[in-house]
Amino acid sequence: MLQYPDAKAVVRALAPDEPVILTRPHAAARAARFFVEKFHGKSMYAVKANPSPDLIKILWDNGVTHYDVASIGEVRLLRGLLPDATLCFMHPVKTARAIHESYFEHGVKTYSLDTLEELAKITKATTDEAGNPAKDLNLLVRMRVSSEHSELSLAAKFGADLTDAAPLLQATRQHCDALGVCFHVGSQAMTPFAYVQALERVRAAIAEAAVTVDIVDVGGGFPSVYPGLEPPPLEDYFALIHRHFEALPISYSAELWAEPGRALCAEYSSIVVRVEKRRDNELYINDGAYGALFDAAHVEWRFPVCALEDDLIKPLDDFAFYGPTCDDADYMQGPFQLPEDIQADDYIEIGMLGAYGAAMKTGFNGFGATEGAIVTDEPMASLYRGDRIDPRASDNVVSLR
Ligand SMILES: *Cc1c(COP(=O)(O)O)cnc(C)c1O
């Protein structure tokens, strides 16, 4: 892939007809090193946030050795890319064949579950042909916790309720080498207290079950920075998690795990789009709800934007976007702030799309082709750059370009 200083250089060189995904390897490397150095436990990358092989190799090269995979497709992808990585199959509902293949062919020992049925499925699918059950499983019971502090809920679908957790932990203990508890506070958790609350629930479950717990996995949810969503420093999250983990009634050798997705890759990518038409303050651009802007359309996520024409000097105004497909739902309300004289044929960079951006792309309506380029400038905002708006309020938020 060709390398450029920034998005403007890409537009000058390519005048691209299709959206261009810009990647910033240095930003992903910096995020990986931050987690590896500052989180006192294992940080496994949640592959669904962005399964790009280039990204995964950058994370590996910067110390991320564990990967949270959720489908046999992700297991095969990761095993092909990283033969020595530790893979953890953290989807609480798997097929028996996916478990069998991942255990016997890809060496996956770690699985999550939230029901007795899934426990039975895992034990059966990992029993060998001679009838010997697996003796080396790490099984993590996924607990339901509140998503109230997060922008995207993960509370409805998975997780054992507190009342069911104790018997499930006791039953799971019989079938594993290491027993764990995991949860997910929801994506883009805006305060570290989300984890404190969840760990309190874990404490209650462990106390009631009276079993030895070897792994506490605090899941994903670590935030990135977006307009209107400026979280406290990640160090605050880590400090509170460390303190509350230490206070749990678990063995001295118990391990702390986390499953960051968004926080490891949000800064890795942005996208260059072109305005194809303007109607009042609605811009028809060449990527959208069925492309990398799924969250902008479906949960009204406001990504930062920047006009790439040098001669646009007018004050900013609020714009909404339409994507390229023929569907009315291909609409992103924003508001996105751009120069008021922006017009057709102008290019825009949309930032902070490394997580749940390109990963969501479809080919609906014949759109979806993209080019790629590496850029060396900074992402539009960063949790890891250390520049502060207000050192007391926040250690990490940077001004948008
Ligand atoms: C999606 C997901 C993650 C990653 O979540 P982020 O909010 O992106 O950090 C981690 N673990 C599980 C089980 C998930 O489903």
Range list for CATH 3.20.20.10 in the chain: 27-265
Q: What is the pLDDT of residue 312?
A: 66
How far, in Å, from the CA of 298 to the mean position of ligand 1? 18
Task: Check if 323 has its Cβ closer than 6 Å to any atom of ligand 1.
Answer: no
Please classify residue 236 by burial: count the beta carbons closer than 10 Å to its beta carbon, then call 0-12 exposed, 13-18 middle and 19+ buried: middle
How far, in Å, from the CA of 278 to the mean position of ligand 1? 37
306 in active site = no
CB 272 within 8 A of CB 348: yes
Alpha carbon distance 209, 167 (integer Å) = 7
Task: Check if 259 has its Cβ closer than 6 Å to any atom of ligand 1.
Answer: yes
From 3.30.1310.10, 2.40.37.10, 3.40.50.12280, 3.40.50.720, which CATH number describes the 3-22+270-375 domain?
2.40.37.10
Task: Check if 90 has its Cβ closer than 6 Å to any atom of ligand 1.
Answer: yes
What phi, psi does 300 have (nearest 5°)? 55, 40
Task: Check if 219 has its Cβ closer than 6 Å to any atom of ligand 1.
Answer: yes
Going by CA atoms, what residue is nearest to atom 15 of ligand 1? 91
pTM of the model: 0.94
Range list for CATH 2.40.37.10 in the chain: 3-22+270-375
How far, in Å, from the CA of 142 to the mean position of ligand 1? 12
Pocket test for ligand 1, best of 113, 187, 299 (most atoms within 8 A of CB): 187
DSSP per-residue codes, 200-268: HHHHHHHHHHT----EEE--S-----BTTB-PPPHHHHHHHHHHHHHTSS--TTPEEEE--SHHHHGGG
- Positions of the chain with pLDDT lower than 70, given as ranges: 312, 386-401
Q: What is the pLDDT of residue 387?
A: 56
Q: What is the pLDDT of residue 135?
A: 97
pLDDT tens digit string along 390-401?
A: 444 444 444 333
How far, in Å, from the CA of 119 to the mean position of ligand 1? 21
Q: What is the pLDDT of residue 369?
A: 86
Task: Check if 262 has its Cβ closer than 6 Å to any atom of ligand 1.
Answer: yes
CATH number of 27-265: 3.20.20.10
The number of the ligand 1 atom at minimal distance from the alpha carbon of 189 is 7
Task: Check if 19 has its Cβ closer than 6 Å to any atom of ligand 1.
Answer: no
| Residue 118: both structure tokens together | 């899934």
How far, in Å, from the CA of 78 to the mean position of ligand 1? 16
Alpha carbon distance 148, 154 (integer Å) = 10
Q: Determine the residue type at 213.
A: V
User: CA-CA distances (angstroms) from residue 51 to 238, 268, 271?
Assistant: 25, 12, 17
